Structure 1
Amino acid sequence: MTAPGAPRQRPGFLVRMMLLHLAVVAAVVLLCGGVYGWLTYERLGRDAEQRALSIARSVAADDDVRAGVTALDDAGPGDLDPDVLARGDLQLAAEEVRRRTDSLFVVITDDAGLRLSHPNPEQLGRPVSTDPTEALAGQEVTSQERGTLGLSARAKVPVYAPGTDAVVGAVSVGISRADVLATLEEDITPVAATAVGALGLGAAASAAIARRLKRLTLGLEPEEIATLAQDQEAVLRGVDEGVIGVSAEERITVCNREAGRLLGIEDPDRLVGERLGDTRLPGSFSALLAAATPESPAIEQVIGPRVLILSARAVRPARAPQRRLRDPRRTAPGPGSHVPELGWVVLIRDRTELQSLTRQLDAVGALSTALRAQRHEFANRLHTISGLLAIGDVEEARRYVSEVTETGPLSYPAEGAELLRDPYLQAFLGAKSVEAAERGVSLRIGADTLVRGRITDPQDVTTVIGSLVDNAVRAAVQGAAEDRWVEVELLDDWTGGEGTLHLVVADSGDGLPVEDPEPIFAQGWSTTAPSAVVPGHGGGAPFDALPDVHGQGFGLSLSRELARRRGGDVWVADPGGPGGPGAVFCARLPGTVVRDPGRGADVHGERSAGRAGGAG
Structure 2
Amino acid sequence: MRFTTRVLVLQLVLVAAVVAVCTTVFVVLGVQQLRAESEASALNIARTVAEDPDVRALVAEFSADPGTPAAAELRDGPLQELAVDVAVRTDALFVVITDDHGIRLAHPNQELLGQEVSTPYAEVLAGNEVVDWERGTLGESARAKVPIWPESGGEPVGEVSVGFERASVFDDLPALIVAVGLAALGALALAVLATLLMRRRWERLTLGVQPEELVALVQNQAAVLDGVGDGVIALDPGDVVRVCNAAAARMLGLHDPVGRSLGDLGDAAGLIRSVREGGPGDGVVLGDRVLYLDVRPVAREGRALGDVVVVRDRTDLVALSERLDTVRTMAGALRAQRHEFANRLHVATGLIDAERVGDARAFLAEQGERGSVDFPVEGVERVGEPFLQAFLGAKAIELGERGVALRVDDDTLVLGTIEAAEDVAAILGNLVDNAATAAVRAPEPRGVSVAFFTEATELVFTVADSGGGVPDGVDVFAPRAGGTAEHALEGETAGRVHGLGIGLPFSRELARRRGGEVWLIDRGGEGAGAVFGARLPDAVRPASEKISKEGPTP
2:108 corresponds to: 119
Aligned pairs (5 A) from 1:85-234 = 85-186=74-175, 190-234=179-223
Tell me if 1:301 matches 2:301: no
User: Which residue, 24, 45, 56 being the options, matches 2:46?
Assistant: 56
> How many residues of Structure 1 are paired with residues of Structure 2 in the alignment?
544
Structure 1 residue 462, shift from structure 2 partner: 2.7
Q: Which amino acid aligns with 1:109?
A: T
1:262 corresponds to: 251
Q: Which amino acid aligns with 1:520?
A: V
1:400 corresponds to: 366
2:408 corresponds to: 445
Tell me if 1:280 matches 2:266: yes
User: Which residue, 523, 541, 546 being the options, matches 1:594?
Assistant: 541
Structure 1 residue 137, shift from structure 2 partner: 1.7
Q: Which amino acid aligns with 2:528?
A: P
2:551 corresponds to: none
Whether the aligned pair in 2 keeps the contact of 1:288 and 1:312 (CA below 8 Å) is no
Cα deviation per residue 1:284-340 (whole Å; 9 max; x = unaligned)? 345257548xxx9844310011110011223334xx222xxxxxxxxxxxxxxxxx3
Tell me if 1:555 matches 2:507: no
| Partners of 1:568 and 1:162 in 2: CA distance | 123
| Partners of 2:275 and 2:546 in 1: CA distance | 56
- TM-score normalised to structure 1 length: 0.78
| Partners of 2:483 and 2:45 in 1: CA distance | 113
Cα deviation per residue 1:11-32 (whole Å; 9 max; x = unaligned)? 2332222333333333333333
User: Which residue, 487, 506, 518 being the options, matches 2:464?
Assistant: 506
Structure 1 residue 487, shift from structure 2 partner: 1.0
User: Which residue, 1, 11, 19 being the options, matches 1:21?
Assistant: 11
Change (3 A) 1:430 1:212: farther
Tell me if 1:378 matches 2:341: yes
Structure 1 residue 550, shift from structure 2 partner: 5.5
CA RMSD in angstroms comes to 3.5
- Matched residue of 2:525: which SS? coil
Change (3 A) 1:161 1:311: same
Structure 1 residue 156, shift from structure 2 partner: 0.7
Change (3 A) 1:350 1:161: closer
| Partners of 2:196 and 2:250 in 1: CA distance | 46
1:571 corresponds to: 519
User: Gaps spanning 5+ residues in structure 2: where?
Assistant: 549-554
Cα deviation per residue 1:360-415 (whole Å; 9 max; x = unaligned)? 3344445545555555432232244554797257973563243342xx34x44433
- Matched residue of 1:225: which SS? helix
Q: Which amino acid aligns with 1:177?
A: R
Structure 1 residue 105, shift from structure 2 partner: 1.4
- TM-score normalised to structure 2 length: 0.86
Q: Which amino acid aligns with 1:13?
A: F
| Partners of 1:591 and 1:89 in 2: CA distance | 133
Whether the aligned pair in 2 keeps the contact of 1:252 and 1:272 (CA below 8 Å) is yes
User: Which residue, 552, 570, 584 being the options, matches 2:531?
Assistant: 584
2:492 corresponds to: 542
2:257 corresponds to: 271
- Matched residue of 1:213: which SS? helix
Whether the aligned pair in 1 keeps the contact of 2:94 and 2:164 (CA below 8 Å) is yes
Structure 1 residue 172, shift from structure 2 partner: 0.3
- Matched residue of 1:503: which SS? strand
- Matched residue of 1:557: which SS? helix
| Partners of 1:224 and 1:562 in 2: CA distance | 46
Q: Which amino acid aligns with 1:473?
A: A
**Could you tell which deviates more after superposition, 104-113 or 124-133?**
124-133
| Partners of 1:359 and 1:346 in 2: CA distance | 27
Change (3 A) 1:290 1:348: closer
2:357 corresponds to: 391
Q: Which amino acid aligns with 1:593?
A: V
Cα deviation per residue 1:37-94 (whole Å; 9 max; x = unaligned)? 33333233222222111111222233443344344433745x444x664444433321
Q: Which amino acid aligns with 2:24?
A: G
| Partners of 1:192 and 1:383 in 2: CA distance | 117
- Matched residue of 1:282: which SS? helix
Whether the aligned pair in 1 keeps the contact of 2:280 and 2:483 (CA below 8 Å) is no
Q: Which amino acid aligns with 2:165?
A: S
| Partners of 1:533 and 1:442 in 2: CA distance | 20
Percent of paired sites with the same residue: 45
Q: Which amino acid aligns with 1:153?
A: A
Tell me if 1:429 matches 2:429: no
Structure 1 residue 130, shift from structure 2 partner: 2.4
User: Which residue, 437, 440, 448 being the options, matches 1:486?
Assistant: 448
2:28 corresponds to: 38
| Partners of 1:43 and 1:490 in 2: CA distance | 108
Whether the aligned pair in 2 keeps the contact of 1:385 and 1:400 (CA below 8 Å) is no
Structure 1 residue 102, shift from structure 2 partner: 0.7
Change (3 A) 1:64 1:30: same
| Partners of 2:274 and 2:468 in 1: CA distance | 36
Structure 1 residue 184, shift from structure 2 partner: 4.3
| Partners of 1:112 and 1:159 in 2: CA distance | 12
Structure 1 residue 455, shift from structure 2 partner: 3.2
Aligned pairs (5 A) from 1:519-534 = 519-524=475-480
Change (3 A) 1:192 1:310: same
Change (3 A) 1:199 1:422: farther
Structure 1 residue 508, shift from structure 2 partner: 0.9
| Partners of 1:524 and 1:289 in 2: CA distance | 12
| Partners of 1:527 and 1:169 in 2: CA distance | 115
Structure 1 residue 358, shift from structure 2 partner: 2.5
| Partners of 1:288 and 1:75 in 2: CA distance | 119
- Matched residue of 1:152: which SS? strand
Q: Which amino acid aligns with 2:298?
A: V
Structure 1 residue 171, shift from structure 2 partner: 0.7
1:333 corresponds to: none
1:240 corresponds to: 229
| Partners of 2:369 and 2:276 in 1: CA distance | 66
Cα deviation per residue 1:146-194 (whole Å; 9 max; x = unaligned)? 3343443221111234544342221100123333322344456555544
Change (3 A) 1:582 1:298: closer
Change (3 A) 1:428 1:245: farther
